[in-house]
Structure formats: structure tokens, C-alpha cells
Structure 1
Amino acid sequence: MLRIFRTNGETATEIAGSTVTLERHLQVLIERNMAIMLRVRFLDSEVSTGTVHAGRIDSLGLDEDGSPVVVEYKRGRDGNVINQGLFYMAWLRDHQADFEALVSGKLGPDAVGEVDWTNPRIICVAAEYSRYDRHAVAEIGRRIDLVEYQYFGEDLLSLDLVASTAGASSRAGQGGTGAPTAGLRTVAQRLAGAPVEVQTLYKELDGRLLAFGDAHSVELRHYIAYRRSGNFATVKVLNGGLRVFLRLDPRSVTLEAGFTRDVSRIGHHGTGDLEVRISSAADLDRAVPLLRASFDAVA
């Protein structure tokens, strides 16, 4: 349980936690600050699912990887928030064109090309989840984040990611209409077709990234994302090696030609401004301090 104290010299006073009186208040606050609080670009609120599904999605968004996001809120403790998220995700998968039209209208036509239907997300925000809820999301096989919120005093809000599952990639390599995208190979296909040396290098990199602690990987259209509350590393598989993009300021690193590069002003698939090229076991060993620093930078 998260506890917060106000300190004054040697004295500590605990600030009692509370929940909101109205669910809508929490929703409005997060929607207005979604990019900061959830690392998701807000698209729309109270989205009608029509007469057949007969419901309203609390919030729709697009995350840093271009994955569509359904956000559902509950003021207290309610396992149904997970079921609601799954229900609305099923609707969203069947209405991809509607979602992409929303992205175009809110973020511009160019943003539609960023939408990646490989592994859409559900984010549930509630005051509390039971251990059964946390276990259930691991068994469901969908990409689901469980976030607990709590207010402390009048101006402190905590958001705690208590469970996060990678889910299983679906419709990999397909566009918004569900039809296969010509010439587009999934990350798994690119890895399977890469030289044995690259496959071995990736397995070693994967093991090191996940060994840092509370992280998991998500296979997306163009890369594999390694996440905590957000991406700390994204990995592209090439025949000649691996490209890893890290959430580090390139100005804080001594750049080395052929190994590290500032890509903050260069378009690329992957989140992060520092590119690290890994073509050998020696490169991987050199990269570990940078990998760790990026992991620590994403709480």
C-alpha cells in the first residue's frame, strides 16, 4: 500500500488517502492530462458503441506506439471494469475504420499511418483491484494495464501501475481494414528470417532487458517494445544486427560513431531519442549501462 507523508524537519505527518466522490471527476482530470498521466494521446470521451453494443467507451486514445487504447474508470473497487474494457475492445476491433477516422479528425491525416492494430491496449483505472483481478488479466491473454489511483489531500494524486500484461499479438501485419498489408513482415517473421547470430544476440538482449525488474515486452508492427509505465527500450531486428532506441537525452551521452547516434531530429520507428547499434556480444556489453539508465528513467 502506498503511503505519503508530509515532512517538516524531523517530524513526519501521514497524509490520508481517499477516492473521488464522482467517477466523472476522475475521468475528466485524466482526459485533460492523459499525455502526462498515461502517456496516451487523448482522442475522445463517452464514445457511443451504437444500438447493438449499447454502451459508451469512457475514453479513447492512441499510445506512444500507435496502439489504440480503451480507457475505463471506476471510482471504487469493481472487477467489472476489466470486463467492460474487454467488451469495448471487441467493438473497437470491429470498427477500425471509425477509429482511424477519429484519429484523422483529431490528430490529422498523417497520424492514421501511425495506427498499429497489432496489439491494442485496455487501461483500467480504479481505486483498488483484488488479487483475483490481477491474476485474471494474466490469464485473459489481452494487453491490459491495471492502474490504481488515490488522492492525498487536495492536490496530490497517485497513479500506481499494479498489473500490466503484454497480451498476444493479433492481426499482425494487417491494416485497419483487416486485410493483409502487402510486403509487410511482422517482427516475429523478421526475427525468424534473420541470421542465427542476430537471433542469438536478440535472445541475449531480451534476457538482459527483462532482468532489470518490473518490465515486459510487447510485439508491435515495426519493433518490440520493452515497457514499465512506458517504453524504456524499443528494438528493431535487421539482418546485420539490432537497433535499440532508448529514452535518454543524447546530449547526456558521449556519442560513438557506429555505436550510438542522436535520432531526436531523425524520423524512425521506435520511441526514444538515442539509437544504439548492437551487432555483436561486445556491443551488447558496452550497451548495458545505457540500457539500465533508460530503464531507471522510466518509473
Structure 2
Amino acid sequence: MPIFKDTFGALKKLNTLPLDKEKSLQKLVEDNLMEVLELHFLATEYATTFGGRIDTLAVDINGAPVIIEYKRNKNESVINQALSYLKWLKAQKPEFFQMLMITHLGQAVADSIKLDWNNPRVICIAESYSKFDVDTVEVVPLRIELFKYRYYEQGIFGLESLTVPEAISHAPPVSIDVVTQKPLSSVALLREKGTSAIRALFDALQEQIINLDEGVEEKATSFYVAYRAAKNFAEVHIGKNQLKIHLRPIDYDDPKNRVDKIPDGYNWTMDRRVYLDSAVDIEYVMSLIEQSYKNVL
């Protein structure tokens, strides 16, 4: 979509500018990898034994290995090239990647990330894509994500996701509801951790979070229910007697001082935390969640 600058009530459309070369795009993203994609940078131009070099090698906050390839212009080979590198990566041993994490992130950070070797991601970043690219991503059963970038005058950079990655394969086992004989979703499995009162509290909170915007996505992991727009903005851990909600690392308007900061040693991106155990506090906690949500827009 076009970007406009508000100058004393007058909107001026910002023009897009070409990047002088592909390496400029790569360096800009690599230097800001955690900010734009929530990834830990591992290596640039990583040489493979299959021939060729991976533009960027990274690991996401959930421990999945990530291959990133860049193209300044429309290029139908960008996905094929990335998939070739993925084939090479999957032929390696997990210990190889674990050592990369230790070497480039340090032992402490590497130890805080549980390597998810079975769910690697491929991210392609380009100015535009062909219909062939989009169709390929839709039918290939792999975690391939397409991002379209725009660079505007006045140093404005935009990154738009064109695809929604598939759920990772190690989701908790499916259970059966003994009454309906229907499989329970992963969210339902996590929900069962709470008492009936906490389940009702989660249901009320879930409805309000999803109603923040039609683009809000809900995804269950092994430990929590994540809500995201461009990035995660809330992660709800369901306990027996309370909900623990992790939020983004910003300064909150929090007159009741309900938000606490997780110690830096944990190296968590979502390092703010608030607890909810009563319906009386839903409105206040939602005001904090909404602040976290606005941080990712």
C-alpha cells in the first residue's frame, strides 16, 4: 500500500526508491534481523558443500533454523535456490547447527534456545514475485515465507508478509473429546490445564484479543497460545489458577504497576509479563495487551 507522511495535516505520498544493489538489501536486513523478523543472526554468505552460498543463516526465537534469500527484482529462481540450500541444510547433523549457534551467539544465548531441527524455515525477500512463486509456496509442504520489501524516500523501509507459514509439525498430540468424539485443537489442549474458572477467563480474553483486528492470528505452541500481527504481541500461558501473559519489551502506560520485566539473562524477546486470575482485571490487562499489539503495527 502507498505510504503517506502527515505534515501539519497535509498528507504527502512517499516515493519508493531503488536499492543500488542486492547486497544493500541484505545488509540492511541482517543488521536489523531481530527488529524486523525476530531472528538471531548467525552467518552471512555461508558456503555450502553443495556449491553456492546462503545469503543469511539465522535461527528464530523458537529454535527453528532459518535460511534467507534476497532478490532486488522479480526473479523466479529465488525459491528454487532457497530450496536447494534447504536440502543441503537438512542433510547436516543437528550438532553442526548447534555449534553455529554457540559460535555466533555465545554459550548462554545458545543454551536458552531449544533447537527445533525438524521445522526449518525458508524466507525469501524481494521487491515482487511472480505468480509461479506464490503458487509454488501454496503447494509445497514446507515452511516457505515470502516477504515483499519497499524502500521509500526519507529512509522508510517496509516489509510485508505475503504468506502465512504452516503450523510447525511438533504440535502436541491430538486428543479426543469423549463426549463429541471430535479431536481437540492444540489451543483446547492448553486450555484444559486451567480450572473451569481459568478456562472461562481465557475464553473471555481470547475473544477480546482476536477482536483487536481481523488480521490477528492465533497459534498454539507446546507451551502457550501466541497472538501475532506482523510479530507476536501476546503469549498466553495457561496455568491451573492463573493466566501468565508475555508482552513486548516496551514502556507501558501501567498505573497499577502490573507489568514486570523478565531478567535479561533469559534473553527472551517477549520480556514483559503480566498475570490475570480474575475477570475483574480483564479490561485493565487488555489495555496492556493492546499497547503491545500497537507496537508491532
Q: Deviations over 1:46-91 (max 9, x none)?
A: 223323xx44321012334444322111111234434444443454
Q: How many aligned residue pairs are there?
A: 279
Q: Measured at CA, do residues 264 and 196 of structure 1 come closer, stay the same or move farther in structure 2, by a change above 3 Å?
A: closer
Q: How far apart, CA to CA, are the structure 2 residues paired with 1:125 and 1:262?
A: 36
1:206-217 equivalences in 2 (<5 Å): 206-213=206-213, 214-217=215-218
Q: Measured at CA, do residues 222 and 277 of structure 1 come closer, stay the same or move farther in structure 2, by a change above 3 Å?
A: same
Q: List gaps (5 residues or longer) in structure 2.
A: 173-185
Partner residue, 1:58: 55
Q: How far apart, CA to CA, are the structure 2 residues paired with 1:293 and 1:102?
A: 36
1:131 Cα deviation from its structure 2 partner: 6.4
Contact 2:195 2:240 in 1 (8 A): no
Contact 1:225 1:231 in 2 (8 A): yes
Q: List gaps (5 residues or longer) in structure 1.
A: 174-186
Q: Measured at CA, do residues 133 and 126 of structure 1 come closer, stay the same or move farther in structure 2, by a change above 3 Å?
A: same
1:202 Cα deviation from its structure 2 partner: 3.7
Partner residue, 1:287: 285
Q: How far apart, CA to CA, are the structure 2 residues paired with 1:200 and 1:141?
A: 36
Q: Deviations over 1:156-200 (max 9, x none)?
A: 242222324242222458xxxxxxxxxxxxx76961652463445
Q: How far apart, CA to CA, are the structure 1 residues paired with 2:128 and 2:6?
A: 23
Q: From the two aligned structures, give the one with the greater strand fraction.
A: 1
1:111-260 equivalences in 2 (<5 Å): 111-113=109-111, 114-117=113-116, 119-130=119-130, 133=133, 137=137, 140=140, 142-153=142-153, 156-171=155-170, 191=190, 193-195=192-194, 197=196, 198-213=198-213, 214-247=215-248, 249=250, 252-255=253-256, 260=258
Partner residue, 2:175: none
Structure 2 counterpart SS, 1:217 = strand
Partner residue, 2:65: 68
Q: Deviations over 1:75-122 (max 9, x none)?
A: 112344344444434543443322111110011122223134175433
Q: Measured at CA, do residues 269 and 119 of structure 1 come closer, stay the same or move farther in structure 2, by a change above 3 Å?
A: farther
Structure 1 counterpart SS, 2:67 = strand
Structure 1 counterpart SS, 2:126 = strand
1:291 Cα deviation from its structure 2 partner: 1.5
Aligned partner letter, 1:39: E
Partner residue, 2:30: 31
Q: How far apart, CA to CA, are the structure 1 residues paired with 2:282 and 2:9?
A: 45
Aligned-residue RMSD, C-alpha: 3.5
Partner residue, 1:272: 270
Matched, 1:92 2:89: yes
Q: How far apart, CA to CA, are the structure 1 residues paired with 2:83 and 2:219?
A: 18
1:228 Cα deviation from its structure 2 partner: 2.3
Identity, % of aligned positions: 29
Q: How far apart, CA to CA, are the structure 1 residues paired with 2:277 and 2:267?
A: 19
Q: How far apart, CA to CA, are the structure 1 residues paired with 2:54 and 2:6?
A: 37
Q: Deviations over 1:193-231 (max 9, x none)?
A: 524634454444334323322232344454333222322
Partner residue, 1:107: 105
Q: How far apart, CA to CA, are the structure 1 residues paired with 2:95 and 2:152?
A: 41
Partner residue, 2:176: none
Q: How far apart, CA to CA, are the structure 2 residues paired with 1:49 and 1:25?
A: 22
Q: How far apart, CA to CA, are the structure 1 residues paired with 2:9 and 2:209?
A: 39
Partner residue, 1:178: none
Q: How far apart, CA to CA, are the structure 2 residues paired with 1:84 and 1:204?
A: 45
Q: Measured at CA, do residues 157 and 97 of structure 1 come closer, stay the same or move farther in structure 2, by a change above 3 Å?
A: farther
Q: Measured at CA, do residues 12 and 271 of structure 1 come closer, stay the same or move farther in structure 2, by a change above 3 Å?
A: closer
Partner residue, 2:18: 19
Partner residue, 1:176: none
1:235 Cα deviation from its structure 2 partner: 1.8
Q: How far apart, CA to CA, are the structure 1 residues paired with 2:165 and 2:203?
A: 18
Partner residue, 1:184: none
Contact 2:190 2:224 in 1 (8 A): no
